Chain A
Amino acid sequence: MNEETIRARIAPLEDYIMKHCLWQFHSREWDRVRQNEGILSKAKQLLCEEPVAKDTPEDRCYWVDALALTEAFQKRFAWLKEMDKESIEVLMHALKERIDFVTITGSLNKELTSPRY
């Protein structure tokens, strides 16, 4: 998968997350780091049919969001089914980087780093 394909495929995934999800918008940076990591890594595992930890309440909570996300992806983007695990892994890694950028590192939200609420 070349970079252009990745970019082209990430765009609708990102659009879906932005329009339908809330988990990426917790109010502080440290929390967004945690949320993006928790949910997107589980989403990758689900798409790659890897085992997903869901023993702790925290893990379970991430898992339900991740599952909702991957189901929506699979329903909307037929090309996901055609992709092999390796490519999915690459794609999801790039997606996470993009979401981290939009919601954390590139975010214009000045409250993200505020030590108080």
Chain B
Amino acid sequence: MPYHEFECSTCIPERKSHAVLKGEEDDLTTCLPEGHLATIPGTISERGCAYCGAKHVIGTPMKDAIHMSHGPVGCTYDTWQTKRYISDNDNFQLKYTHATDMKETHVVFGGMDLLKKNMIEAFKAHPEINRMTVYQTCASALIGDDMEAMAREVMKELPGTDIFVCNAPGFGGPSQSGGHHKINISWINEKVGTVEPKITSDYVINYVGDYNIQGDCEVMCDFFKRMGIQVLSTFTGNGSYDELRGMHRAHLNVLECARSAEYICNELRVKYGIPRLDIDGFGFGPLSESLMKVARFFGLEDRAQAIIDEEVARWKPELDWYKKRLTGVKVCLWPGGSKLWHWANAIHEEMGVEVVSLYTKFGHQGDMEKGIARAEVGTLAIDDPNELEGLEAMRMMKPDVIFTGVRPGEVAKKQRIQYLNAHAYHNGPYKGFEGWVRFARDIYNAHYSPIHQLSGIDISKDDFNIDKGFMTRQMISDVKLTPEEAHVEGETPYTGEFDCVTPLRTKTYPSELTRSTTAQAV
């Protein structure tokens, strides 16, 4: 096994099996790190907790529910306003968060009454909302409050309301991943099948495992709607509580983030016979193929082809402009889970960047299999990375840009390495054809930032030039291109708008597309 032992971790030998360097002869039967194991205390790991995986990652993107955490205030505060999952109902889920504010007296005497009071107060505060999700925390789990019982009481007292309870305390598992699992299973067990949805098309899907980061989900749903497909529910980006209760009536589950949401797709397959189709919404090639697969399932390939042709014609020249300038740029792909495999090969093939390292905070071995399968030889793959290993990896792999979270991004900054936010994006959405160009633009802008160039100059020691008053990004990037390469008719940097998502919300789609002309509808 091509394990890579970090110098900083020789004193914790069990870390050795958590990193591999993919070699020339390696495949997945020779090269795979451990994953999803208990974290070693004191390593300064980047992992979060199961509560966050349930509440923050999956629960809260649901846009039309009150989100309440039963516990001390911190869990609620800490997981509020740290994500960019927007919605088309003016971002209710971003703006409002609820904590039962458990205090010592509740720890001693129980917090059930407190929870009940809170639920009632919250419904009163938001008379327009009659759906609620309630999350257990470490504290409420340890004192053993029966949250389901309280939810039943409140639903009885306030007819018309519906409450979902998720028991995923922070300590439940090695990372966020434990919470993803628990909320998936609770949702299918408790809520799916309790509402009969209105079916408006002969082609019906659930779009699963997308959290509408900067509008990703809305971009994807636009493609589906253009084909006449009804997106019955989105799990859970821009998702509606009641629509998600009707997931069982879809013909197909289209799954993006299999790390966080494969469970519900698997259960829907077992319980309701709905097939699971894993797709990639990132990258021209993977996205085109994905749209075509969904279309083919319903016999709509002409519609998919028309969309692909239109989008590729519109955006490919802009992607090409960036690819030329990004070729050979070295990046570390250091996200939480699924993006390591969604992006690993697509950014290499379509933008020309070299992925020199992958890591996952909360992925399982299955995620690393996908990531390593898609990575090139020489890639350093790290499971459950920690602060020192990250720094050592940066020194070793010498990346130009790192895709990671806000805080690790600040670590990279001090190492004079540019960072892009892999979780919330810099200027997303990154899904869709236009989104992919936006991603390329962000990488380009990071790498060729004139300020970044200046950051390496030591004015006390270096002999630096004073012949210029400024540099444009292109003055820096185009040095390596011939004039013929640099100027190709039609190729330009990104020409889209600052906000490419809001206009989608007022679009209308011809209803005749939703009916199949042949009797062969699924």
Q: Are A61 and B297 in contact (CB under 8 A)?
A: yes
Known: A61-B297, A64-B293. A109 touches B32 (CB 8 A): yes
Q: Are B28 and A107 in contact (CB under 8 A)?
A: yes
Q: Hey, which chain B residues are within 8 Å of A63, CB to CB?
A: 296
Look across to chain A and name the residue whose beta carbon is closest to the beta carbon of B294.
A64
Mark interface residues in B15-36 (1 if CB within 8 Å of A CB, else 0): 0000000000001111010111
Look across to chain A and name the residue whose beta carbon is closest to the beta carbon of B277.
A61
Mark interface residues in B243-278 (1 if CB within 8 Å of A CB, else 0): 000000001100000100011001000000111111
Q: Are B275 and A18 in contact (CB under 8 A)?
A: no
Cα(A57)–Cα(B252), bound, Å: 8
A-B contact count (CB 8 A): 93
B483 to chain A, nearest CB (A): 33
Contact partner, A27, options B277, B364, B522, Cβ 8 Å: B364
Look across to chain A and name the residue whose beta carbon is closest to the beta carbon of B177.
A117
Binds B, one of A44-52, A80-88, A89-97, A98-106: A98-106
CB of B378 within 8 A of chain A? no
Q: Are A19 and B374 in contact (CB under 8 A)?
A: yes
Q: Are B278 and A108 in contact (CB under 8 A)?
A: no
Cα(A104)–Cα(B369), bound, Å: 11
Q: Are A65 and B277 in contact (CB under 8 A)?
A: yes
CB of B114 within 8 A of chain A? no
Contact partner, B292, options A19, A68, A117, Cβ 8 Å: A68
Look across to chain B and name the residue whose beta carbon is closest to the beta carbon of A109.
B365
Q: Are B373 and A19 in contact (CB under 8 A)?
A: yes
Known: A58-B275, A67-B296. A22 touches B365 (CB 8 A): no
Q: Are B522 and A60 in contact (CB under 8 A)?
A: yes
Contact partner, A22, options B252, B275, B370, Cβ 8 Å: B370
Mark interface residues in A16-44 (1 if CB within 8 Å of B CB, else 0): 00111011011100010000000000000
CB of B181 within 8 A of chain A? yes
Q: Hey, which chain B residues are within 8 Å of A108, CB to CB?
A: 28-30, 32, 365
Mark interface residues in B124-163 (1 if CB within 8 Å of A CB, else 0): 0000000000000000000000000000000000000000
Q: Are A111 and B366 in contact (CB under 8 A)?
A: yes
Cα(A32)–Cα(B319), bound, Å: 35
Contact partner, A23, options B181, B252, B278, B286, Cβ 8 Å: B278
How many interface residues does A have (CB within 8 Å)?
29
Contact partner, B345, options A19, A64, A110, Cβ 8 Å: A19
A56 to chain B, nearest CB (A): 8
CB of B491 within 8 A of chain A? no
Known: A22-B370, A109-B366. A64 touches B28 (CB 8 A): no
Known: A18-B373, A68-B293, A107-B369. A57 touches B286 (CB 8 A): no
Report B360-388 residues with CB < 8 Å from chain A CB: 364-366, 369-370, 373-374
Look across to chain B and name the residue whose beta carbon is closest to the beta carbon of A106.
B29
Cα(A57)–Cα(B205), bound, Å: 12
Q: Hey, which chain B residues are within 8 Å of A72, CB to CB?
A: 289
Contact partner, A61, options B29, B36, B276, B369, Cβ 8 Å: B276
Look across to chain A and name the residue whose beta carbon is closest to the beta carbon of B276.
A61
Q: Are B364 and A111 in contact (CB under 8 A)?
A: yes
Q: Are A61 and B28 in contact (CB under 8 A)?
A: no
Q: Which residues of B contact A (CB under 8 A)?
A: 27-30, 32, 34-36, 181, 185, 251-252, 258, 262-263, 266, 273-280, 285-286, 289, 292-294, 296-297, 341, 345, 364-366, 369-370, 373-374, 522
Give 8 A-B pairs besides A60-B297, A61-B297, A110-B34 with Cβ atoms closer than 8 angstroms: A22-B258, A25-B366, A61-B277, A67-B293, A101-B29, A102-B29, A106-B29, A111-B35
- 16 pairs across A/B with beta carbons < 8 Å? A18-B28, A22-B280, A25-B369, A57-B274, A60-B275, A61-B275, A63-B296, A64-B277, A64-B294, A65-B277, A68-B292, A72-B289, A103-B369, A106-B28, A107-B369, A117-B181
